[in-house]
A and B are shown apart, each in its own frame.
Chain A
């Protein structure tokens, strides 16, 4: 029962005679009308995008997206009743207890062969959280059932590598990995209340004069490395009490 505004996918291969195919498509197009679409899909192409037959609605949506349709939306799905299941078995020789009928809309984007358009797989511009669709109860049930059986090793997994594209394999530009202020080497900083002369030296350097030899007796050396001058002789040693005699060749901490 094909009716107006539906999307019909015609899966064909080389064995279909061209004229019969054309006639079928014409008829379908008349039936689906201007709102609907008839999509021709070569079965070999489809199989390339999917490792096995399209068996789930989500796989069909993916397949349609990957084949170039846009604005894919699942409208409705319902399980086939016993009579319909029986009919499928008789006519197609396919038996399953979990057949569903799915209604999906999609649009062929109107561009020429060879042009490209970015698929809408990235950030959505929603600004308000309240316009979220309700979770379809059937979907919720499937999710919950699956989640309650975490140990199940027999369910098929999609190949996660297929989610990636060549862009993902690109290494970042090495220039982007450097710290921003890494121009002329590490900063030489002076202590807050510098008494060793480094602060003055830096001032003099700034006004382009020769720097004096820094003295080694600094008022703040007893504080830890976090507070020491860049050329403090005590760098690398722990903090000590002011006035405490600390030999520069310090003894190691004894471990048990």
Chain B
């Protein structure tokens, strides 16, 4: 009797959905079911009609959108020409991850569930709606749903009695085997996998361009609470091209101190080399790792030891722990009733994997190397709006980076991995190279000449607009309106001299809001209302495009509200007509936003 096979397909933006998908895979294997776990866009969708049992694990991101690694699938599954009986062989279930503070809460999961029904699939369960807003996170919804799912699945595919469930506490076999080499390889792959001087195709995640860092200057006053850097890269010979509104992705590394500490706590020799071998045939090796690889490279460039561990980390660590006291605590942290305590210990203070391992030294010292890739996720790249135009600075790429640092109840301050790493690099001390690649951003600027552009970019949000203004001025487009907000004109007024020159040339109208220069707070949305007549004229009579960018939770809503009231006051529109007017601007791409929380 063939082993029943379950297929788990995921769409994940930050890795959470992927983690849940892999959890499903492990739970399946513990129940002796065969299981394949794949990203949706990596799966050959032609085969879907033959799959009898599929679980879809999908996050909703952005404005109710599917994650990047399921965008192709999403465009396919809604094709009108797909027959309504296509998936008649399939029993399915959809597990969604989202945030109910957004209006389009779990839209991807909800829509997918309905669409699969339309295409003839049979649902085992209603969709699970994991919610970040729940005090205990998505697991609050997922745990009971998974229990119900396994009941259904094992009802359909009962496992023979001679194959009992593998209980929690016993580790599943590791995905990979580490074959350590006695000596360092003669070819010496070095710290960074530099393959050849000539790039093979455009720079991408699999093959980033190692860009020399040319400048790394602090642009905020020394009194200012935040360290913000203007960083410039030389992209000569990379084949990289970009337009204003595009985004650069940077792959950060762990610090030397953290790398050293991790190796010490686990008893690893950073100078040793190894070759990876998958335990099961047909499983590819991780594409981001050179073969052979050094332990130092693995720990500094690949393993995300500065990230906050997920529940699955504690589950596996418990299985690997030889120490009674530590093991007991780890099992508690993996259990459903231990989730509240885990949240207090780990999530709320933002405790990192490295810090947890230091708290469980006996377990850490006993971790077999084979399990490192099961235990610790890969470092994810970070995206930054490109702040310069090739038309003004050919062969250069600039970004504006706010160094993230804040306090929780842990004594050691929390630091952003990428921003701290970039801040620590000093090109004046020696050559510095940073792995990066480019992708289209969420902002697109009008091509029709004579179209005015209104840009609202407080703080670091002004970065993509600096690129846009440079580009447009180089193309002779001079109707540029920038609303810029910051705290104090002598502390964080980025690019002030540049704006002044452009104003003198008649290429820019700059409206500023310095929030802390007077008793009451003045923000960009106040300025928008003050200049409502102009804003209305530009939008309604001149066909202007409106842009909003920045790092804030409430600013986008506040600006939208300001616009609505401008439409009412200067356009004479009713409240609902004003909202419809804004919605229409959005639909025709004349109102665009790029905001990050």
**Residues of A at under 8 Å CB distance from B?**
56-59, 61-62, 74, 121-124, 126-129, 132-136, 138-140, 142-144, 146-148, 150, 155-158, 160-161, 163-164, 168-169, 171-172, 176-179, 181-182, 186, 192, 223-227, 235-239, 250, 252-256
Contact = CB atoms under 8 A, between A and B. Distances in A.
Nearest to A149: B76
Given A124-B122, A192-B325, A224-B359, A140 B80 contact: no
Contacts of B537: none
B110 A147 contact: no
A146 B115 contact: no
Interface stretch (B231-239, B387-395, B406-414): B406-414
B367 to A, nearest CB: 16
Contacts of B124: 123
B360 A226 contact: yes
Contacts of A177: 100, 131, 133-135
Interface stretch (B7-15, B84-92, B376-384): B84-92
Given A150-B76, A186-B344, A227-B325, A142 B81 contact: yes
Q: Which of B103, B124, B325 has the most CB of A within 10 A?
A: B325
Contact of A256 (B257, B340, B343): B257
B457 to A, nearest CB: 30
Nearest to A248: B411
Contact of A253 (B46, B82, B361, B412): B412
Interface string B125-137: 1100001011110
Contact of B81 (A123, A146, A255, A256): A146
B85 A136 contact: yes
A255 B420 contact: yes
A59 B80 contact: yes
B570 interface: no
B68 to A, nearest CB: 15
B75 interface: yes
Contacts of B358: 224, 238-239
Contacts of A148: 46
B325 A157 contact: no
B110 A168 contact: yes
A181 B336 CA distance: 13
B407 to A, nearest CB: 10
- 5 closest cross-chain pairs (CB), A and B: A224-B359, A147-B46, A58-B84, A139-B83, A256-B256
Q: Which of B79, B105, B124, B410 has the most CB of A within 10 A?
A: B79
Nearest to A129: B156
B107 interface: yes
Contacts of B340: 179, 181
Contacts of B420: 255
Given A132-B89, A135-B89, A226 B329 contact: yes
A254 B257 contact: yes
Contacts of A144: 46, 49
A144 B84 CA distance: 14
B431 interface: no
A127 to B, nearest CB: 7
Q: Which of B343, B361, B424 has the most CB of A within 10 A?
A: B361
B507 to A, nearest CB: 37
29 contacts: A58-B82, A59-B80, A62-B84, A123-B125, A123-B126, A126-B122, A127-B155, A129-B52, A134-B89, A135-B86, A139-B85, A139-B86, A142-B81, A143-B83, A146-B79, A147-B44, A157-B78, A157-B79, A160-B111, A163-B115, A168-B110, A181-B340, A223-B325, A225-B359, A226-B345, A227-B329, A254-B257, A255-B255, A255-B257
Given A148-B46, A157-B78, A224-B359, A61 B157 contact: no
Contacts of A74: 84-85
Contacts of B46: 143-144, 147-148
Interface string B325-360: 100010001000000100111000101000110111
A189 to B, nearest CB: 8
B118 interface: yes
A108 to B, nearest CB: 21
Contacts of B86: 135, 139-140, 142-143
B433 to A, nearest CB: 16
B123 interface: yes
A201 B406 CA distance: 34
Contacts of B351: 225
A179 B136 contact: yes
Interface in B286-324: none
Interface in B43-76: 44-46, 48-50, 52-53, 72, 75-76
Contacts of B355: 238
Interface string B93-118: 00000001001010100110011011
Contacts of A157: 75, 78-80
A19 B82 CA distance: 40
A176 B49 CA distance: 38
A178 B131 CA distance: 11
A135 B88 contact: yes
B91 A129 contact: yes
A161 B81 CA distance: 18
Contact of B115 (A132, A160, A256): A160
Given A157-B79, A164-B107, A256-B424, 15 more contacts: A58-B83, A74-B85, A123-B123, A127-B156, A132-B88, A135-B50, A139-B83, A143-B48, A143-B83, A146-B76, A147-B45, A147-B46, A163-B114, A178-B134, A256-B256
Contact of A62 (B103, B118, B155): B118
A174 B411 CA distance: 32
A57 B157 CA distance: 33
Nearest to A123: B123
A197 B88 CA distance: 65
A121 B122 CA distance: 10
A50 B580 CA distance: 23
A138 B86 CA distance: 10
A129 B157 contact: yes
B111 A236 contact: no
Given A123-B123, A133-B85, A239 B361 contact: yes
A137 to B, nearest CB: 11
A27 B117 CA distance: 37
Contact of A237 (B118, B411, B413): B411
A33 B431 CA distance: 87
Contacts of A123: 123-126
A156 B79 contact: yes
Contacts of B45: 147, 150
A27 to B, nearest CB: 31
A60 to B, nearest CB: 9
B344 A169 contact: no
A101 to B, nearest CB: 15
Contact of B72 (A150, A179, A236): A150
Contacts of A58: 80, 82-84, 118
Nearest to B358: A238
Interface in B548-591: none
